[in-house]
Amino acid sequence: MRITVFAGLALLLAACGGPTAYAPASGGTGYTDTALEDGRYRIAFSGNSLTHRSTVESYMLFRAAEVTLASGHDWFRIADRGTEAETSFRSTSTGFDRFGYPFHRPGLAGLDTVTTRPITRYEAFADIVVFDGEKPAEDVMAYDARSVIATLGPLVTRPAP
First-last CA distance in the chain:
35
pLDDT band at residue 15 using 50, 70 and 90 as cut-offs: very low
Task: Please state, rounded to an integer, the average pLDDT across all residues of the chain.
Answer: 85
Of 91 and 5, the one with more pLDDT: 91
DSSP, res 99: T
pLDDT attached to residue 101: 55
Residue 1 scores a pLDDT above 50: no
CA distance 34 to 41: 5
| Prediction pTM value | 0.76
pLDDT attached to residue 116: 77
pLDDT band at residue 3 using 50, 70 and 90 as cut-offs: very low
pLDDT attached to residue 106: 57
Distances (CA, A) of 47 to 31, 61, 78, 92, 128: 9, 14, 21, 22, 20
- What's the pLDDT tens digit per position in 108-119? 555 567 787 888
- What's the pLDDT tens digit per position in 42-94? 999 999 999 999 999 999 999 999 999 999 999 999 999 999 999 888 877 66
Residue 104 scores a pLDDT above 80: no
Averaged pLDDT, 99-109: 53
